[in-house]
Chain A
């Protein structure tokens, strides 16, 4: 497939557990973004990777959230000690450098913390 893929599509976890969400961007896209979509809250920017530059982590809501991007391709968003307020759809997007508006979004991972 040529699009952005994310896994898992759905994740149910117990409060206090750690979760990892994966994103496979479009091949050749150097920019990768993570967003959180909560009910009634729109899309909240979390973190942005661009090539080999240091990531822009300004949107991460707490130190329980972290992300890495290996080899300039696949990215993993990790949430430690999950809380119920972490329940949301987590979206990943990728784009060609310098063309943020042409972000291609993945289908998202729906996270439910019980």
Chain B
């Protein structure tokens, strides 16, 4: 079946550090891949997406590249800020249905 595996948190970094949150997936067919973010006290929201191999999704300084050969979609940011503290979810969907499969989430703490 389809599944998403992401690195366990919490991840704690200092401000301006480089961030990588690993995500790998298992899926039949050709999934679309997403990163969602949940800021403290707010609802989950889409951060970025990529719909085919080698696509790069980007938003708010975050990037992730759809790597079919390694079935990965790692989230990166060159210089994190305190305001990036949140829980990040990697997710996928396939053409076959309208559901999204989420990973377990990674909590990120950025220290000033």
Q: Which residues of A contact B (CB under 8 A)?
A: 3-4, 31, 33, 35, 40-43, 45, 48, 50, 56, 91, 93, 95, 97-98, 100-108
Q: Which residues of B contact A (CB under 8 A)?
A: 32, 34, 42-46, 49, 89, 91, 93, 97-105
- Give Cα A105 to B32, complex, Å: 19
- Give Cα A91 to B100, complex, Å: 14
- Give Cα A10 to B44, complex, Å: 17
8 cross-chain CB contacts under 8 A: A45-B101, A48-B99, A56-B99, A101-B91, A101-B93, A103-B46, A105-B44, A106-B43
Choose from B34, B42, B98, B104 the contact partner of A42 (Cβ within 8 Å).
B104
Which 9 A/B pairs are nearest by Cβ-Cβ distance?
A42-B104, A43-B102, A105-B44, A105-B43, A100-B98, A42-B105, A107-B43, A42-B102, A100-B93
Tell me the nearest residue of chain B to A31, going by C-beta: B98
- Give Cα A35 to B44, complex, Å: 11
Residues on B with C-beta less than 8 A from A100 are 93, 98-100
Tell me the nearest residue of chain B to A41, going by C-beta: B104
CB pair B42 A107 closer than 8 Å: yes
Residues on A with C-beta less than 8 A from B34 are 101
Residues on A with C-beta less than 8 A from B32 are 101
Tell me the nearest residue of chain A to B38, going by C-beta: A105
Q: How far is the CB of B1 from chain A (nearest CB, A)?
A: 11
Q: How far is the CB of B50 from chain A (nearest CB, A)?
A: 10
CB pair A50 B98 closer than 8 Å: yes
Choose from A3, A45, A98, A105 the contact partner of B99 (Cβ within 8 Å).
A45
